[in-house]
Structure 1
Amino acid sequence: MKSLASRLVPKTVEKLIPYQSARRIGGSGHLWLNANELEQSCRYGAGDGEYHRYPDFLPHELADTYRVYCQGAGDTLNCDAVAVRGADEAIDLMIRTFCQPGADKIMICPPTYAMYEFCAESIAVEAVKAPLLDDFQLDMTSITKQLAETKILFLCSPNNPTGNVINQADIITLLEAGKESTLIVVDEAYIEFAPDTSVINLIEQYPHLVVIRTLSKAFGLAAIRCGFLLADSCVMEYISRLIAPYPIADPVAEIALRALDSDGIQKMRIQSDELISTREWFAEEVQKLAIVERVYVSATNFVLIRFASAECMYSYLLSKGIVTRNQVHEPALANCVRISIGSKSSMLETLNALQEYK
């Protein structure tokens, strides 16, 4: 029986032969004269790195290391993984692989991460919307009505910009409902701040589930642009056809591998614990202010605040030299500002500025 992925993939992608880069073709020998590389590096002050050779066409060591990290103690993760240039590339790959411009649709649940809609619309794929409920949980009735008409449903949990975790029972219900029609993509960019809520172990049971991860958030490696796409082999078979040759630079892979060793993971967890403590303190203190209507519960490295004042608090904080994220463009987030959690001193400065507001 054909997999759902094989039924959804456009014929153009199904027939597509991946670009045969020198590293993908491979080979063995003592003279490497196949990729038009220099045999020696000019270095350019870049330390001891040997950067004159192209990297692995798909960095298998990095992908395998990330799978081990995801497994945890004693668990087995039965899915494929591929390293990509940030979670944004994973989103783009999913849409370009499975959606035909001008014909197919994806579904999003705003307010949510804007890149799902942007990537779709950039190639003339319609983004159908099923807005979140007042508590920022899924509108299951609205989603299920439209599910069969969409190739991909994008869910973000913990969600950006609201900060909340989506009920896992609802995700499972949608996985059941979409078995014959829709790929369900769960973006877990912030999962290290709420690790017990991951759905990654459901991939084996639901091969139409895809999980997106990143090293940008809890690992603090936003500058290296390294993310991961985890999926069943039936899905990955087609995604791998569209991945650009040499997607991960060697210096990026080296930094990522250090972050994913036991010492790096321990540092990440200590830092995450400290951030969560600062987040909870800041949220509690801000909620006491008369100008604050509500601080939403967060399972991320930011808090979403709804202010009672109609005046733009984003502009006020900016006048104090504090750059936050204005959310007024979202219909459900009037008077809301998203504030990333920094050091205790940075959050104290932000709190003092809010306390001084007249």
Structure 2
Amino acid sequence: MTSLATKLVPEVVKNLIPYQSARRIGGKGHIWLNANELEQSERYGESESYNRYPDFLPHVIEKAYLEYSKDAVGGEALQCESLAVRGADEGIDLLIRTFCQPGHDQIIVCPPTYAMYEFCADSIAVNTVKVPLAEDFSLNVAAITPHLKDSKVLFLCSPNNPTGNVIPHEQIVALLEASKDSTLVVVDEAYIEFAPHTSVVNLIAEYPHLIVIRTLSKAFGLASIRVGFLLADKSVMDYVARLIPPYPIADPSALVAKKALQQEGLAAMRRQTDELVSIRNWFAEEVAGLAFVEKVYPSSTNFVLVKFGTDDCLYQYLLQKGIVTRNQAHDPRLARCVRISIGTRASMQETLDALKAYPFN
């Protein structure tokens, strides 16, 4: 039976032969003259081998991430593959470039949501259909469904950025059922460690057109190493892997990721996440009690979205205090809203003190 991915992928990608780097082809020996590298170079840090292209370590961290993902859903066997990418953003870009033809295809997004889905589509002249979230930030399934037949990819973010909420499981399943013959469904789980029980990765076995995006940038606290993962059925990965660069992850980044995915690193991540959730809940409760705050939206992430009952979102006021937040006023749905990432207890106390000092009449 032909997979949906095979039906959707453009012929140019279907016929693409992946570039085989020297490291990927491999070989054994003690003199390496196969990759046009310098045999020696200056030393700029701890490593003595910056002159060599990276070993193909992504295989190692992909396997480790798959094991971690399995444990996170109660030890279930996951019928999917893992692909290491340079942050979730590259994963988004790869999926659009793999399955969408410029000037011909379209994707679906549900704003307010992560802006990179639309940006990546725009960058290669792929159209974006926008179906706004409902008033409570849940999906408008009835409004999305008619667009599925004409769209290659549907992007969902759960927990969602910038609203912080989890998309109800039954809504995702309803869309997976409706898109079986037409559309790939991508669920961006960048913040999933803050709500691990809501992951849909175990549904890939039943819905091979489901793709899950993950990252080490959030709960793992490794934003600077630029490592993310795609989790998908082999039928999808067969095509995405054709577009992956020959040396996708630099060795220093891969080595850090490898350590983070070992038991000690995972335990540290979970302790860190628990502490951050505690600080988030305390901060949200304190901010919600301020007279000029209209609403603090429920969050399953490492940030809170705050709507102020003032003329603006207090972004400039906080900036004057040396506190940099994220102004969301560019989206009409989020007027007077600011997104505040959760930091240390001391940083959040300073932010709270600054808000309490706001001259509100």
Report how far residue 49 of structure 1 moved: 4.5
| Aligned position for 1:297 | 298
| Aligned position for 1:193 | 194
Please tell me whether the aligned partners of residues 307 and 313 of structure 2 are also in contact (alpha carbons under 8 angstroms): no
Which deviations, in whole Å up to 9, do the C-alpha atoms of 1:182-221 show, x marking residues without a partner? 0000000000000000000111111000000000000000
| Aligned position for 1:62 | 61
| Aligned position for 1:20 | 20
CA distance, structure 1, for counterparts of residue 238 and residue 55 of structure 2: 18
Which secondary structure state, in structure 2, belongs to the residue aligned with residue 164 of structure 1?
coil
Unaligned runs of 5+ in 1: none
Report how far residue 56 of structure 1 moved: 3.3
Which secondary structure state, in structure 2, belongs to the residue aligned with residue 149 of structure 1?
coil
Unaligned runs of 5+ in 2: none
Report how far residue 20 of structure 1 moved: 2.0
Please tell me whether the aligned partners of residues 96 and 121 of structure 2 are also in contact (alpha carbons under 8 angstroms): yes
| Aligned position for 2:180 | 179
Report how far residue 313 of structure 1 moved: 0.7
Question: Which amino acid in structure 1 is aligned with residue 320 of structure 2?
Answer: S
CA distance, structure 2, for counterparts of residue 149 and residue 74 of structure 1: 37
| Aligned position for 2:143 | 142
Question: Which amino acid in structure 2 is aligned with residue 138 of structure 1?
Answer: L
Please tell me whether the aligned partners of residues 164 and 297 of structure 2 are also in contact (alpha carbons under 8 angstroms): yes
CA distance, structure 2, for counterparts of residue 188 and residue 214 of structure 1: 8
1:7 has 2:7 as partner: yes
Please tell me whether the aligned partners of residues 57 and 254 of structure 2 are also in contact (alpha carbons under 8 angstroms): no
Question: Which amino acid in structure 1 is aligned with residue 77 of structure 2?
Answer: T
Please tell me whether the aligned partners of residues 58 and 246 of structure 1 are also in contact (alpha carbons under 8 angstroms): no
Please tell me whether the aligned partners of residues 57 and 251 of structure 2 are also in contact (alpha carbons under 8 angstroms): no
Q: Report how many aligned residue pairs link the two structures.
A: 357
| Aligned position for 2:236 | 235
- Structure 2 CA distance for partners of 1:48 and 1:311, relative to 1, 3 Å: closer
CA distance, structure 2, for counterparts of residue 77 and residue 311 of structure 1: 47
Report how far residue 41 of structure 1 moved: 4.5
CA distance, structure 2, for counterparts of residue 49 and residue 39 of structure 1: 11
| Aligned position for 2:288 | 287
- Structure 2 CA distance for partners of 1:97 and 1:57, relative to 1, 3 Å: farther
CA distance, structure 1, for counterparts of residue 183 and residue 278 of structure 2: 38
| Aligned position for 2:103 | 102
| Aligned position for 2:206 | 205
Which deviations, in whole Å up to 9, do the C-alpha atoms of 1:235-272 show, x marking residues without a partner? 00000000111010000000011111101110110010
| Aligned position for 1:245 | 246
Which deviations, in whole Å up to 9, do the C-alpha atoms of 1:2-33 show, x marking residues without a partner? 10000000011111111121122222333221
Please tell me whether the aligned partners of residues 288 and 296 of structure 2 are also in contact (alpha carbons under 8 angstroms): yes
| Aligned position for 1:31 | 31
Q: Where in structure 2 are the equivalents of 1:338-357 lying within 5 Å?
A: 338-357=339-358
Question: Which amino acid in structure 1 is aligned with residue 157 of structure 2?
Answer: C
1:268 has 2:269 as partner: yes
Q: Where in structure 2 are the equivalents of 1:63-142 lying within 5 Å?
A: 63-72=62-71, 74-142=75-143
Please tell me whether the aligned partners of residues 88 and 190 of structure 2 are also in contact (alpha carbons under 8 angstroms): yes
Which secondary structure state, in structure 2, belongs to the residue aligned with residue 174 of structure 1?
helix
Report how far residue 290 of structure 1 moved: 0.8
Report how far residue 295 of structure 1 moved: 0.2
RMSD across aligned C-alpha pairs, in angstroms?
A: 1.1
Which deviations, in whole Å up to 9, do the C-alpha atoms of 1:40-99 show, x marking residues without a partner? 35322x114433221235620010011011110532111110110000000000000000
Please tell me whether the aligned partners of residues 58 and 82 of structure 1 are also in contact (alpha carbons under 8 angstroms): no
1:316 has 2:321 as partner: no
CA distance, structure 2, for counterparts of residue 36 and residue 251 of structure 1: 21
CA distance, structure 1, for counterparts of residue 29 and residue 56 of structure 2: 18
| Aligned position for 1:255 | 256
| Aligned position for 2:155 | 154
Which deviations, in whole Å up to 9, do the C-alpha atoms of 1:282-320 show, x marking residues without a partner? 000000111100000000000000100013411111111
Identical amino acids, percent of aligned pairs: 66
Which deviations, in whole Å up to 9, do the C-alpha atoms of 1:309-357 show, x marking residues without a partner? 0134111111111100000111211110000001111111111111111
CA distance, structure 1, for counterparts of residue 302 and residue 109 of structure 2: 22
Report how far residue 158 of structure 1 moved: 0.2
Report how far residue 148 of structure 1 moved: 1.1
Segments ≥4 residues shifted beyond 6 Å: none
| Aligned position for 1:336 | 337
Question: Which amino acid in structure 2 is aligned with residue 23 of structure 1?
Answer: R
